[in-house]
Structure 1
Amino acid sequence: MTDEIIIHEAIRLVDEGVSVTFPVKGYSMLPFIIGGRESVILQKPQVVRLGDVVLAWVDDCRYVVHRVISIEGERVILMGDGNIVGVEHCLLSDVKALATHVVDAKGRKHDLYAPWRQRASRLWWHMRPVRRYILAIYRRLL
């Protein structure tokens, strides 16, 4: 199966109201989601809010699992926690799923919106000027 088929099947199931455990690739969501080791549980979004981690079709070219950093009317801006610069754009209708939990390598579920994770993600957002250095060290330790 190709990645595209897996993504479309996951979206179809989420649209039907089924929770889907979806593997994440890459390092764009470090340090909160480790690609290649962890998965996210996706559900149908009822409301998309600032700070949500979503699966979205962005820039009319690809799907990403990134955090919502801005919502203005129907326009949504996303950015991966592990990205230093660069954002993606989409419409609210392009947000296909909400990530609710992270599943670690041992199969344990962790709430993405636990109070400590929300505080940590806000702090991480404000650390953009220095997080390239923190991420470089973190990647070497992985």
Structure 2
Amino acid sequence: MTGYSEDKKTRIISNDLYFTEVQRMLDEGKEVRIRIKGGSMRPFIRDGDSVLLLAYSGGALLPGSNLLAKHQGKYVFHRYVGRINGQIILAGDGNLVLKEYIDPTDIIAVASVHYPQQSAEEINLNYRWARLRGLAWYRIRLLRRIIAKLKRIV
């Protein structure tokens, strides 16, 4: 499926077609920069930001890495937060409950650089701080859920 946005300036294609092309370029050994759509990685990566992807070669994953993977037939860009029974656990930074469990073979790429839409800054996602702050944010999910519920009450 392809089409154009209302302003006719942006071409719209299906996720399957888009990510098939991303996969092809990664398989050729190229780095691929993609735009993030959605808010599941907020507050660290926002809708409209972009990331530079490198093909995943099956090596060890650094805790807190940002991964592009396939989960139940859909593409997800979420953080690696753990492993259980051989499965990789992914979670979006903005998600308070949801986690995805995938096989290591479902990992497509690892993000190496984050390009915020609102600045010229380039954030190296391999730096320990970038990974650990995301993991810390994940670890306080229960506290974040409680705060979110309290905000709704007040």
Alignment counterpart, residue 28 of structure 1, candidates 21, 27, 40: 40
Structure 2 CA distance for aligned equivalents of residues 111 and 70 of structure 1: 21
Instruction: Name the structure 2 match of 1:42.
Output: 53
Alignment counterpart, residue 131 of structure 2, candidates 114, 118, 124: 118
Instruction: Name the structure 1 match of 2:7.
Output: none
SS at match of 1:108: coil
Structure 1 CA distance for aligned equivalents of residues 70 and 60 of structure 2: 14
Tell me whether 1:54 sits opposite 2:59 in the alignment: no
Unpaired segments of 5 or more residues in structure 2?
1-12
Instruction: Name the structure 2 match of 1:99.
Output: 111
Normalised by the length of structure 2, the TM-score is: 0.77
Instruction: Name the structure 1 match of 2:91.
Output: 79
Is 22-31 or 67-76 further displaced after alignment? 67-76
1:16-47 residue CA offsets vs partner (Å, 9 max, x unmatched): 11000011111101111102x20111101232
C-alpha RMSD of matched pairs (Å): 2.0
Q: Relative to structure 1, is the Cα distance of residues 17 and 74 closer, same or farther in structure 2, using a 3 angstrom cutoff?
A: farther
Q: Relative to structure 1, is the Cα distance of residues 126 and 26 closer, same or farther in structure 2, using a 3 angstrom cutoff?
A: same
Q: Relative to structure 1, is the Cα distance of residues 73 and 107 closer, same or farther in structure 2, using a 3 angstrom cutoff?
A: farther
Q: For residue 118 of structure 1, report the CA deviation from its aligned partner.
A: 2.7
Structure 2 CA distance for aligned equivalents of residues 33 and 78 of structure 1: 15
SS at match of 1:129: helix
Q: Number of matched residues?
A: 133
Unpaired segments of 5 or more residues in structure 1?
138-142
Tell me whether 1:127 sits opposite 2:140 in the alignment: yes
